[in-house]
Amino acid sequence: MPKLVIPLTDLKLKTTKAGAKLIKLSDGDGLYLEVLPNGSKTWRFRFRQVNGKENLLTFGPYPDVSLVEARTKRAQARQLLRDGIDPARDRDAQRVAAADQRAHTFERVARDWHANKMKSWSPQYAENVLHRLEQDIFPDIGPEPIMGLPHRRIIAVLRKIETRGAVEIAKRQRAVCRQIFSYAIQSGIADRNPVTDMADILQPVSPGHFPAITSEELPRFLRALHSNEARTGRVTLLAVRLMMLVFIRTSELIEAPWSELPPGTKQWVIPWRRMKLGKRHLNPIKVDHVVPLPRQAVELIEELRKLTGGGALLFPNMRDHSRPMSNNTILKVIERMGYKGDMTGHGFRTLAMSTIKETLKYRHEPVDRQLAHVVKDKVQRAYDRAAYLDERAVMMQAWADYLDVVTREALSAV
């Protein structure tokens, strides 16, 4: 007749003292507490494997693992045995899975996704995607396992980007994170995509709307730019002034190679591959953008050539000359001037468009083409490029001369 085992009690567990030899306090059905001479107490579970061999599981130390918890673990192990599963092998499999989960951090999966996708991207686009992840996402959630990453952590990262005024970037990063989670699911690393439920989390982006000053505010802005010259690096200052003169997009300016601007050139031809519509994955507009350079812009470019002309880029990154200046560099200058939220790099395009049409009285068509707003019809596009180039050259010089006049008047009024 099997020996009757009296179930353990918390009082029995607490009052049992260590002896000279190992003590076993049985709770029945293979569960017992092992009390060592040094006073440590550990839960053990003895069982027979599916193949009939005896084995032992450790449930953890007492009192960290309570009597109730130990009995729960025993019940779970016995249920596995009834289902034909070896508890020891199940434990080992769970440990491997947990280790695998810890190894598959968000950053590791994101870099794998990036390496897989970059074969179908242009080198510049691939670099930009990775750089933005390194700047905005990895510092906050990069080290965390992608499996089970909470919604609120991802939302916090996206809103952090949004609060600095980069609403469009936050929207793009949300799309990138959605793709990374999708890749993780397809790779068997994650089982859900938390970003798919974040359609209404971020502020809506107003298409084409960027903060910009008006022509009436331009004199004050120019005085602020002049007063901040001493605190602004010369290369950065030239970037701001050149952007004001030619009002191309920020990326088109700061990513420009010197090969596009040979000495003495009066026209800047930006290849279609660097243009916004040329970078589209579907149906890119393959039209180079011609920028007639006013005299003042040529002078700035030649000054810049003396500073950075020995390298590949007009505006190299200060830490890594193989990469362009950060998108935020111009924005930071504008913020230091006191125009945070009121002006952006893109705002120079809005300022130029409104002032050239309303103050200098130029027609909409040449201004629109100078902004690289390309019409969809191919025949009309070719005509526009030919028809307005001479007019645009005169218009760009008039804009530069206008800025000179406003600058002189603004500084003389100080």
369 is catalytic: no
234 is catalytic: no
What length does the chain have? 414
> Using the 8-state DSSP alphabet, how is residue 249 labeled?
-
Q: Which of 74, 174, 274, 346 is catalytic?
A: 346
209 is catalytic: no
Q: How far apart are CA 79 and CA 81, in angstroms?
A: 5
Q: Which of 73, 104, 174, 349 is catalytic?
A: 349
Strand partners, 178: none
Q: How far is CA 207 from CA 22, 34, 86, 202, 204, in A?
A: 75, 69, 60, 15, 9
Describe the crossing of helices 123-136 and 106-117 by its angle, rounded to 10 degrees. Answer: 170
| Residues 142 and 157 sit within 8 Å (Cβ to Cβ) | no
349 is catalytic: yes
Q: How far apart are CA 250 and CA 255, in angstroms?
A: 8
The strand pair at 23-28 and 31-35 is best described as antiparallel
Q: Which of 24, 95, 295, 383 is catalytic?
A: 383
Q: Which of 95, 373, 378, 408 is catalytic?
A: 373
- Report the SS3 class of residue 41: strand
249 is catalytic: yes
Q: How far apart are CA 272 and CA 268, in angstroms?
A: 12
Q: How far apart are CA 134 and CA 308, in angstroms?
A: 26
> Using the 8-state DSSP alphabet, how is residue 105 labeled?
B
| Residues 402 and 355 sit within 8 Å (Cβ to Cβ) | yes
The strand pair at 289-292 and 31-35 is best described as unpaired
383 is catalytic: yes
Q: Which of 74, 104, 249, 289 is catalytic?
A: 249
What six digits make up the tokens of 144? 């965390």
Beta-carbon contacts of residue 126 (< 8 Å; ≥ 6 apart): 114, 117, 118
Residues labelled as active-site residues: 249, 276, 346, 349, 373, 383
